[in-house]
Each structure stands twice: as structure tokens, then as C-alpha cells.
Amino acid sequence: MPPRKKTERIAPPAKSASAVPGKAQTINDIARLAEVSKKTVSRVINQSPLVHKETRDRVEAVMREFNYTPDPFARGLAFRRSFLIGMVYDNPTAQYIVNMQYGALDAIRDSGFELVVHPCDSRSPGYIDGVRRFVQQQKLHGVMLVPRVSEDQALADMLAEIDCRYSRIASVSLDQASRMVITHDRDGAAEAADYLQSLGHRDIALITGPSSYRSAHERTAGFVEALAKRGIELPRERVVEAGYTFESGVASAERLLAGNQRPTAIFAGNDEMAAGVYKVALRAGISIPQELSVIGFDDSPLASRLWPALSSVRLPIRDMGRIAASMLLAEPAAASALAAASVRPHLIVRDSCQPPAR
Amino acid sequence: MPPRKKTERIAPPAKSASAVPGKAQTINDIARLAEVSKKTVSRVINQSPLVHKETRDRVEAVMREFNYTPDPFARGLAFRRSFLIGMVYDNPTAQYIVNMQYGALDAIRDSGFELVVHPCDSRSPGYIDGVRRFVQQQKLHGVMLVPRVSEDQALADMLAEIDCRYSRIASVSLDQASRMVITHDRDGAAEAADYLQSLGHRDIALITGPSSYRSAHERTAGFVEALAKRGIELPRERVVEAGYTFESGVASAERLLAGNQRPTAIFAGNDEMAAGVYKVALRAGISIPQELSVIGFDDSPLASRLWPALSSVRLPIRDMGRIAASMLLAEPAAASALAAASVRPHLIVRDSCQPPAR
DNA sequence: CTGAAAGCGCTTACAG
DNA sequence: CTGAAAGCGCTTACAG
């Protein structure tokens, strides 16, 4: 190799023919300017250790100088893999989705990756094929699975089969650690139960989400078990299964609040249903929290908009999204570490509870 | 050209070596199987008219047979343009964003395009550069600009400069027709005014959004003008500017509802602020709608969760998103036609208004 | 209406 | 530690 002057090689080119720093360069330009082969430039792009430090510095300086970023399509074509991560979800609430997206975006910021969204309908028969096409067509680097699709083992199996990396967000572990973000809904529900018990409530009712949802199961179990631990039983008639919707919350509250033998507190499996309880109580002239304490789950914006402001169990959704996306970018080992630093829900106390009157 | 047997050329190959219909083929495979050059296959992919009908049919049959879809990265590399459309937005409400995304997804379904999301902070100085990098890096096919960033002319100018197609969603026309989805917020606000007037309200108050928002300006103007047309003046002290947030709605309502000379109705520039009015009224024991009528704007989920259910002006957000995305895919002429079939808001009447008591 | 050549901007073997 | 060749799967001129 011909000797090469090592200092001051990179003559700063006439900067800014336009206001925008030029951006049109290719790997060939960088290679020429840095006086190396394009393969070497490729190595520094991909952070190969097999590059002499001085060479690397020189190449990096040129890349910075020209504001160079490699073309994702050329890389995608050669790698047979894109720099896109997908978020697959099935119709949870808007706030949930948006926060999850923000979290994912936090994780991929300045990484060169972008987020592609894929809502779907897990009840429609072809939905798994739809995800498969999405993944294969776009050669996705990986996908985040948000509840409730995250609970669908058939989906996960399909992804494993086509060798697509994924991360699952769910209330309990459903997969190997490096693929799971566990939300521990159970603990949050237990916190709600403890709080109600500490206030002095004994006659408590529960509106659960649909039993087909893992989160509903966990929230219910956490709540019931925590109460049991404190010596409070939940009679069968004080537990109503609903659909996580406002309307189902209304219907459940109507059942629970009919007659004289009302519970002094209601825990709803999410805020939507808690809002339904509010509606029924307000309409019936039952004042919250004087005559009825209410707790929700999710800490959606709704919770603080209601009056009196609803105490609710907050899930750190944005963090969940950030971690799930990070796991997709990280090496398996690092992904497991991320999983370990897992998220915990906690109760946000507002104005919807007080000790029972009687 | 050598004569070619025209019938039954395409021998159905041993289908499904695996359960999944093979998908790994390239343009070369299709060309070979259809006995044409890859360039001809490329022509049918791109719907060039310069292909003999029989040739086209044959090629299409093979493509279908093998479940072939062209590689978006190879196309992206050759075209220097991707099959991704971007949605750029600055922090409106979650429901708004999610519905907009659904609409955009409606438009690109089965088109081979995908949606990439790009929230940003329009108050941060570098945000336009951030969008530029996003667009150039991903070679986006186009971007949808959602309020309020859609109102930023500097953003639009930058996109025009780098020759990126875009569509803007805004309450009034800000650009050439083929780039605009006009939401006519003014008309929706006028409908709210007419409704309150028809119920007999004369002493009406208004909580506006921030004057820097075009939508706030339009909603205010539409409301004030419609009232004026019916001979109702809005005195200065009955108009309060707020920030489109719940908290600012609370503060505004506190000012408006203090003292004895209360208005009989309040129109809030969005549902968040209307929820603030609810909070203040409920806390002060002012009953809705008996003593105070309230109307919001957006028809967010919140509107129906409040009690009594809030009447609100609905914007067909999903339609807006669908049209904005369609415009990006369509030819300019077709895009203008889409723009013409523009969207209109309308009032959803619920339980938050009635004739004034006095 | 159809095709052979060159190229888009990267990476993967393979050498050295 | 570095490089020359071939290739990823498409499209753009250019011919005919």
C-alpha cells in the first residue's frame, strides 16, 4: 500500500453550495475522499472491529463532513432486511397506542430505524397472514406485539417460523425472557385492593374485563388475592364480567348499584368501565366518593377529566413501548437485561375514594 | 420474434413445497416462467400501457401463481423513492392521531405502501430539519401534514424545496387544492351557535383555543359570526382564550362562572376544555344542562364518557386521514378531485344542552 | 410492443 | 487490517 500522509488529509471542501449541507453522496464518494475502498467505509458504517483506528477516524470525519448517511434501501437490498420496526396491535384505546408509539420512537430515535404501524383485527381469520405479508414484504427488522395480539401464541409461532424477531408486551410471561416486556398488572390491582382495604372498605365490588384477556385475568386475580390476604372475601354477586368498554361498564354498574345493598367501593378493570360507573352513580344521585369509592385501571386521560378525578392504576405505557422496541434493536443478551428492568404499575390516588360512610 | 404457443403455457409448478405459498421469487424467475424479459415483467408491475394484452395476462398469471410481489427495496433503490408515506404531527390528542392513522391506513391498504409515523415538536427549533432528515433518509413517497404542523408554511416550503410531495389537513385552504384537505371547522362552530340560539340562549360564552392555532381562529370566527347573524353579540368578557387543554378549560370556566351573572351556555373550542367546564360546574353545584348548557368540539371519546353526555361537533377525522393519504398516491388531477369531495363537520347532539331556565 | 446493458448504493464471500 | 469482484432485485435510458 502506498504511504499516505496522515495529517490534515481531509481538505474541507467548499461547504454549502446550497444552504443545506450536501447529502447526496454515496459510499463511493466517501471512499474516494477518505482514500480507502468502499468496503472499508462499509466496515465503519457497520462498526466492524476490523478497521484500524486511524482509518476509522478518517472515514468518520469525512462522513460527518458531508453529512453522509448510508442509503437504507441499498442496505436493505444487500442485507435482505430493512431498518423498519413494526408495531402490531389490535384496537386497544387510542391513548394506549399513541403512548406506546411514543415509547417506541424514543427507543429508535437517531438509530436510523423508523416505526411502521400495523393495526389489525385479531378476530378476523386472515389477520395472521396479514401480519406475515406485512413483515415479509417490508422485510421488517422486527415487530412489537402489543396486547391483546401479544397474547396470541399462533401469531408468535408464525413469526418464529419466518424467523422474524419480535417482542411481546403482556401482563405475564408468555415467552423467553428476551422477548417479553412484562407489565405485572396483578401487582397494580393488588395495590388498589390494599388501598381500599386501608380506607376501611369491606363490601367491595369488581367489574372485570373479558376473561379472554390475559390482562383482565391478572387484574382480577391480583385484586381478589390481595383482598383475601386481608381477610376480605368477594362474593360471587359482587363480581361482574364486562367488556372493557364504557357501555359494558354502565351495564355492570347498573347491576351492582341496584337495590339497597350497594357495595361501598367498586374497582373497575379499566378506566372506560370506571367512567361507566360514574355515569350510573351520577344519574342515580349516588355521590362519589361520599357514598361510593371508585378505582380504575390504566390512568387514561379520562381519569383526570372525570369529576371527581378518578384514582387509577397507572401502567408506564411509554416505558413499555421503549423497552419493547429496544429489545428488537439489542443483542439477545442485552435484550434479556432490558426485560429484567421491567415495568411496574402503581396506583395514582386522586379524589374518587374515601372511607365508607357506614 | 420466434412464434410462441399461446395456450396453456404456464405449467402449474409443483405447488407448495412448504405450506406457505412460495414467495421468494424474483423478477427473473417470473420473466423466465412467463418467457419474457425482466423488463417486460417490470412493465407489467408498473402498469405500463406498452405491453401486449396477451403478454400482460401471461405475466400476471405467473405472478399470481407464485404469489409474487416485487421487492420494495430493490424498487426503492432503482426509483430513488420508497413506498412509505409519512405522517407528521405535533401533539394533538391521542384519539385524533389514532383515527388519522386508521384513515391513512384505509387509503393505502393493499397498495403496497406502508405508513411511517413521525411525531415532532413544532416549537423546537430543529424540527423542520428533523422532518427533512426523515423524508430524505427514508426517501418517502410523500408526507401527510396534520394540524398544527400543517399550518406551518416554513415546513411546507421546505418540503417543496426538496421536492417531496405532501398533503395538508387544515381548517382553511393554505395551499393549492391538490394538496389540501379542508376541514371547515368554521361551519361546525356555526352549527353549534345556531343550535344554542334555537334553544333560546342569548347570554352565551366562548372558550377559544390558542389564537396561534388556525383551527381556534376558525372555530371562534364561525361561532361569533353565526351568532351575529342571529342578532346575538358576544361581549368581550364572555370570550376567554385558553390553550386547548383540560386545565386551561378549568381556569377559563372558573372565570366565566364566577359571580351571579353567569352565561346560560358555553361553547368550548374542544372537548378537553369542555370537560374543564364540567369539572367547575359540578364542583360548584351548577347543574348541566338545567343551569348551564355546554357544547364541545372534536367529539372525542371523552364527550360520551362525561355525564351528562356532551354535545360536540364531530370532525370526520378518519375520512380526513384517508383523503390526505389518497392524495399522496393519486395523480395531481385526481388529487384535486379528492380535495373537492372535502369533509364537513357536524354537531352531535347529546344531553348537555337545553333551553335556558330564565 | 419488447429486450440487452448498465446502474441504483450497498454488502457478502473470497483473497491477501 | 484492507480491497476487487460479484451480487442483492429492481429500473432507466437506449435500441429496435
Q: What is the pLDDT of residues A239-262, one digit of tens each?
A: 999 999 999 999 999 999 998 899
B79 vs A221 pLDDT, higher one: A221
CB of B339 closer than 8 Å to CB of B181: yes
CA of A71 to C1' of C15 (A): 27
Instruction: Using pLDDT thresholds of 50, 70 and 90, give the confidence band for residue A54.
Output: confident
The pLDDT of A128-153, averaged and rounded, is 94
Residue B179, domain member (yes or no) = yes
The answer to whether residues B156 and B268 belong to one domain is no
User: Which pLDDT tens digit goes with each residue over A90-108?
Assistant: 977 888 999 999 999 999 9
Q: How confident is the model at residue A358 (pLDDT cuts 50, 70, 90)?
A: low
Place of cell 381556569: B251
- The one-character DSSP state at B23 is -
Examine residue B93 and state whether it is found in any structural domain, yes or no: yes
* Residue A38 included in any domain: yes
> How much is the pLDDT for B358?
63
Q: DSSP per residue over B114-177, as a string?
A: EEEEEE--TTSTTHHHHHHHHHHHHT-SEEEE-TTGGG-HHHHHHHHHTT--EEEEESS--S-G
pLDDT for the residue B190: 98
Residue A9: its pLDDT value, please? Answer: 27
If asked whether residues B294 and B211 sit together in one domain, one would say yes
Distance CA A84, CA A164 (A): 12
Task: Compute the distance between CA of residue A205 and CA of residue A268 in angstroms, rounded to an integer.
Answer: 9
Q: Phi and psi (nearest 5°) for A344?
A: -130, 140
- Residue B229, H or E segment: helix B214-229
B285's CB contacts (< 8 A; 6+ apart) are: none
- The sign of the CA dihedral A282, A285, A287, A292 is negative
Round to whole Å and give the CA distance between B164 and B108: 18
Q: By C-alpha distance, which of B248, B106, B121 is closest to A102?
A: B121
- The identity of residue B191, as a single letter, is E
- The answer to whether the C-beta of A77 is closer than 7 A to strand C is yes
3-state secondary structure at position A141: coil
Cα separation, B66 vs B28, whole angstroms? 13
- Cross-chain CB nearest to B116 (options A74, A94, A116): A116
Kindly identify which residue of chain A lies nearest to residue B76, measuring between CA atoms: A73
Please give the pLDDT value at position B165. Answer: 94
- The nucleotide minimizing the C1' distance to residue B77's CA is C8
- Per-residue pLDDT for A350 more than 70? yes
Name the nucleotide with the smallest C1'–CA separation from B34.
C2
> D2 C1' – B50 CA distance, angstroms?
48
Place of cell 371523552: B302
Q: Are A132 and A113 in contact (CB under 8 A)?
A: no
Preceding peptide of A308 cis, ω within 30°:
yes
Would you state the pLDDT for residue B10? 26
Which of B69, B103, B133 lies at the terminal end of a domain, its last residue?
A: B69
Question: How far apart, in Å, are the Cα atoms of A5 and each of A61, A176, B17, B153?
Answer: 16, 52, 58, 49
The pLDDT assigned to A333 comes to 76
- The answer to whether position B13 is within a domain reads no
Using an 8 Å CB-CB cutoff, list chain A residues near B117: 101, 105, 115, 117
Total domains, chain A: 3
B164 and B212 co-located in one domain: no
Q: Residue closest to D12, CA→C1'?
A: B78
Q: In what order do the strands lie in the sheet with B293-298?
A: B239-241, B204-208, B265-268, B293-298, B311-314, B346-348
- Is B353 a member of any domain? no
Q: What is the CATH number of the domain that holds A175?
A: 3.40.50.2300
Pick the closest to residue B325 from B69, B72, B117 (CA basis).
Answer: B117
B98 and B64 in a common domain: no
Q: What is the pLDDT of residue A332?
A: 73
**Residue of B152, B85, B184, B168 whose CA lies nearest to B335:** B168
Per-residue confidence (pLDDT) for residue A356, from 0 to 100: 96
Q: What are phi and psi of B83, to 5 degrees?
A: -110, 45
Which residues of chain A does B136 touch, with a Cβ-Cβ cutoff of 8 Å?
Answer: 23
**B5: three-class secondary structure by DSSP:** coil
Domain-ending residue, one of A40, A65, A90: A65
* Nearest CB partner across the interface for B137, out of A69, A99, A304: A69
For residues B88 and B34, state if they share a domain: no
Please indicate, yes or no, whether residues A165 and A128 belong to a single structural domain of this protein.
Answer: yes
Give me A280's grid cell: 350510573
> Across chain B, how many H-helices and E-strands are there?
14, 11
% of chain A surpassing 70 pLDDT: 92
Q: Stated in angstroms, how far is B73 CA from D7 C1'?
A: 15
Same domain, B178 and B190: no
> Mean pLDDT, to the nearest integer, of A25-52?
88
Q: Are residues B198 and B309 in the same domain?
A: yes
Residues whose CB falls within 8 Å of the CB of residue A177, separated by 6 or more in sequence, listed in order? A336, A339, A340
Q: What is the pLDDT of residue A21?
A: 43
Three-class SS of residue A84?
A: strand
Say whether both B205 and B231 belong to one domain. Answer: yes
Cβ contact (<8 Å) for A246 and B69? no
Q: Which of A82, A105, A307 sits opposite B279 (nearest CB)?
A: A307
* pLDDT at residue B4 in the model: 33
Q: Could you give the 3-state DSSP secondary structure of residue A152?
A: coil
Nucleotide nearest residue A50, measured CA to C1':
D1
What residues of chain A lie within 8 A of the CB of B282, using their CB? 307
* Residue in B94, B114, B137 nearest the CB of A98: B94
Closest CA to B339 of B318, B328, B325, B323: B323
Tell me whether residue B233 is in a domain.
yes
Q: What is the pLDDT of residue B14?
A: 30
Is B266 strand, coil or helix? strand
- Cβ of B11 near strand C (under 7 Å)? The reply is no
B228 CB inside 7 Å of strand C: no
Give me the long-range contacts of B31-39 (CB less than 8 A, separation at least 24).
B33/B62, B33/B65, B33/B66, B34/B9, B34/B10, B34/B58, B34/B59, B34/B61, B34/B62, B35/B4, B35/B9
A194 with A265, same domain?
yes
Percent of chain A residues topping a pLDDT of 90: 71
Looking at the structure, tell me whether residues B217 and B305 fall in a common domain.
Answer: yes
Range scoring the smallest mean pLDDT among A8-17, A127-136, A174-183, A265-274: A8-17
Whichever domain contains B34, its CATH number is 1.10.260.40
User: How does the average pLDDT of chain A come out, rounded?
Assistant: 89
Which of A26, A245, A305, A312 is the best residue to mutate to test the B interface, defined by the most B CB atoms within 10 Å of its own CB? A305
> Is residue A176 one of the residues assigned to a domain?
yes
Which helix (H) or strand (E) covers residue A119, if one does? strand A114-119
In Å, what is the separation between the CA of B35 and the C1' of C7?
24
Q: Please state whether the peptide bond connecting residue B148 to the residue before it is cis, i.e. omega within 30 degrees of 0.
A: yes
Taking the CB of residue A276, how many other CB atoms lie within 10 A of it?
25
Given an 8 Å threshold on Cβ–Cβ distance, is B307 in contact with A94? no
Round to whole Å and give the CA distance between B319 and B184.
14
Same domain as B93, residue B33: no
Range of the domain at B104: 78-183+317-340
Low-confidence residues in chain B, pLDDT < 70: 1-24, 358
* Residues sharing a CB contact under 8 Å with residue B83, sequence separation 6 or more, in sequence order: B72, B75, B76, B112, B113, B114, B141
| Buried b or exposed e, range B171-200, using 16+ CB within 10 angstroms | bbebbebbbbbbbbbbbbbbbbbbbbbeee
Give distance CA B91 / C1' C11 (Å): 39
- What's the confidence (pLDDT) of residue B9? 27
For the CA atoms of B283, B285, B286, B288, the dihedral, rounded to the nearest 10 degrees, stands at 80
CB of A55 nearer than 7 A to strand C: no
- Is position A36 within any domain? yes
Residue ending a domain, among A10, A44, A65, is A65
Q: Which three cell numbers stand for residue A308?
A: 371527581
Q: Please compute the mean of the pLDDT values over residues A69-97 and round it to a whole number.
A: 90
Residue A6 in this model has a pLDDT that exceeds 70: no
User: With 50 as the cut, is the pLDDT of residue A4 above it?
Assistant: no
Whether A18 shows a pLDDT value over 70: the answer reads: no
**Residues 6 or more apart in contact with residue A181 via CB below 8 angstroms:** A167, A168, A169, A170, A320, A323, A324, A327, A339, A342, A343
Q: Coil, helix or strand for B226? A: helix
